[in-house]
Amino acid sequence: MDPAKFFALFVPTIIALIVAVTIPNPEKVAYDALTPAINGIYEQAQSQIGDPQLESSMELVKLSWNLLGFGIWLSEVLAPFAIIFSFLTKAGLLDGFDFSF
CA 98 to chain centre: 27
Amino acid at residue number 7: F
User: Could you tell me the pTM of the whole model?
Assistant: 0.73
Give the pLDDT mean for 73-91: 90
Question: pLDDT for 20-66, tens place per residue?
Answer: 888 888 999 999 999 999 999 888 888 888 888 888 888 898 999 99
The CA-based angle 18-24-30, given to 5 degrees, is 170
Does residue 14 contact residue 92 with C-beta atoms inside 8 Å?
Answer: no
Q: State the pLDDT confidence band at 101, using cuts at 50, 70 and 90.
A: low
Amino acid at residue number 97: F
Q: State the pLDDT confidence band at 71, using cuts at 50, 70 and 90.
A: very high
Q: Which ranges constitute the DSSP H helices of the chain?
A: 3-22, 26-48, 52-90
Q: How far apart are CA 76 and CA 91, in angstroms?
A: 24
Percent of the chain with pLDDT over 70: 96
Q: What is the pLDDT of residue 31?
A: 95
